[in-house]
Amino acid sequence: MLIVHKYGGTSVGSLERIESVASRVAKAKKEGNDIVVVVSAMSGETNKLTDYAKHFSDNPSKREMDMLLSSGEIVTASLLAIALKEMGLDAIAMTGGQAGIKTDTFHTYARIESIDPTAMQNELNSGKVVIVAGFQGVNSNGEITTLGRGGSDLSAVAIAGALKADACEIYSDVDGIYTTDPRIEPKAKKMDYISYEEMLELASLGAKVLQNRSVELAKKLKVKIVAKSSFSNAEGTVIGKESGKMEAVLVSGIALDRNQARVSLRDVSDRPGIAAEIFTKLAEEQINVDMIIQNASSDGLTSLGFTVTQSELAKAKEIIENFDHDIGGKSFDNDICKVSIVGVGMKSHSGVAATAFSALAKENINIEMISTSEIKVSMIIAEKYAELAVRTLHSIYELDK
Ligand code: ADP
Ligand code: ASP
Ligand code: MG
Query: What domains are defined for the chain?
Result: 2-173 (3.40.1160.10), 254-396 (3.30.2130.10)
> 181, 201, 197: which is closest to 189 by C-alpha?
181
Contact of 252 with 343, CB cutoff 8 Å: yes
Q: Average pLDDT across each block of 10 residues of the chain; the chain has 401 residues. List them in order.
A: 98 98 97 98 98 95 97 98 97 98 96 98 98 98 97 98 98 97 97 94 95 97 97 96 73 96 94 92 92 88 94 93 91 96 87 94 96 94 98 96 87
DSSP state of 190: B
pLDDT of residue 95: 98
Beta strand ranges found along 298-326 (DSSP E): 301-309
Q: CB of 209 closer than 6 A to ligand 1? A: yes
| Encoded amino acid at 323, one letter | F
User: Counting ligands in written order, which one lies closest to the CA of residue 257?
Assistant: 1
pTM here is: 0.93
In angstroms, the first-to-last Cα distance of the chain is: 36
Q: CB of 70 closer than 6 A to ligand 2? A: no
pLDDT of residue 171: 98
Q: Which atom of ligand 2 is nearest to the CA of 41?
A: 1
What span, in angstroms and rounded, lies between the C-alpha atoms of 348 and 68?
49
pLDDT of residue 244: 65
Ligand 2, residues 10, 39, 46, 159: which to mutate, most atoms within 8 A of Cβ?
A: 46
- Residue 300 Cα distances to 267, 270, 294, 320, angstroms: 9, 5, 13, 21
pLDDT of residue 93: 98
User: Counting ligands in written order, which one lies closest to the CA of residue 228?
Assistant: 1
The protein residue whose alpha carbon is closest to atom 4 in ligand 1 is 8
Q: CB of 230 closer than 6 A to ligand 1? A: no
Contact of 152 with 6, CB cutoff 8 Å: yes
User: Counting ligands in written order, which one lies closest to the CA of residue 136?
Assistant: 2
Report the separation in Å between the CA atom of 329 and the middle of ligand 3, taken as the mean of its atom positions.
39
Report the separation in Å between the CA atom of 328 and the middle of ligand 3, taken as the mean of its atom positions.
42
Q: CB of 9 closer than 6 A to ligand 2? A: yes
> 370, 186, 231: which is closest to 292 by C-alpha?
370
Beta strand ranges found along 173-274 (DSSP E): 193-195, 225-229, 237-240, 253-269
pLDDT of residue 247: 62
What span, in angstroms and rounded, lies between the C-alpha atoms of 127 and 244?
41
